[in-house]
Amino acid sequence: MSPNETLFVESTARVTKDVIASSFINFETLEFPGQMDPFDSSLDPVATFKRCGALLFIVDAQDEYVDSLKKMSENFTQAFTNQS
């Protein structure tokens, strides 16, 4: 996908979970909308991040990146804390 095409990608409206199971590799993905706090107690963040092996944080091309980087740093720190 070219960079200008990302302007037309719909934003995530709700938490989505996908399970990928194949003979080679098995994993789950959880996608949270940008306006949702994945550490809200109603989402059980301890259980969500306990088995987390990797985090991806997508920065919207139209957002101020400084605010996004701050939010990313806070999310990564909190996810690591939930694993301990």
The Cα-based distances of 69 to 43, 52, 75 in angstroms read: 23, 20, 10
Amino acid 63: pLDDT: 80
Give the pLDDT of residue 76. 93
Distances in Å between the Cα of 81 and the Cα atoms of 22, 33, 49, 51, 71 are 31, 21, 9, 12, 15
Domain 12-83 top-level CATH class: alpha beta
The DSSP letter of residue 58 is P
Domain edges within the chain: 12-83
Structure confidence at residue 62 (pLDDT): 78
DSSP track, 21-49: E-SS-EEEEEE--TTS-TT-GGG-HHHHH
Tens digit of each residue's pLDDT, the chain (84 residues): 887 888 888 888 899 999 999 878 889 998 998 888 999 999 899 888 888 889 999 888 778 889 999 999 999 999 988 876
pLDDT at 69: 92
Burial 20-29 (b: 16+ CB within 10 A, else e): eeeeeeeeee
